[in-house]
Amino acid sequence: MLEVKINQLTEVCKVSKVFVKEGDIVKEGDAIFSIEIKKCQIVYNANFEGKIIKFYLSPGEKHSSKEPALLVEGKVTGESQTFMIEQKAVPANS
């Protein structure tokens, strides 16, 4: 399981749009969500592939870079400056 966090310059950001939902299969390069920082929109594209297991973001809400943005059952496929990804052992019932 991959725990994905937003890598950003500020500690808290506002989620603008969400392009995927739990259960979706994503490929490298797919748009996942966008955030707003100082009136700029930043789109985050996947550097991983797999199934979205848990999605913690909602449009209009603020999100901390210290908290996970999503859990993915899959693998890292490329390097990225936008996501911090950690391999996590996640219990089957979470």
- Selection from 19-23, 35-39, 84-88 with the highest mean pLDDT: 19-23
How high is the pLDDT of residue 87?
Answer: 52
Note the pLDDT tens digit of each residue in 26-49: 998 899 999 887 788 888 888 889
- DSSP three-state, residue 6: strand
What domains are there in the chain, each with its CATH number? 2-87 (2.40.50.100)
Whole-prediction pTM value? Answer: 0.78
DSSP string covering 30-71, please?
Answer: -EEEEEEETTEEEEEE-SEEEEEEEE---TT-EEETTS--EE
Q: Which helix (H) or strand (E) holds 81?
A: none
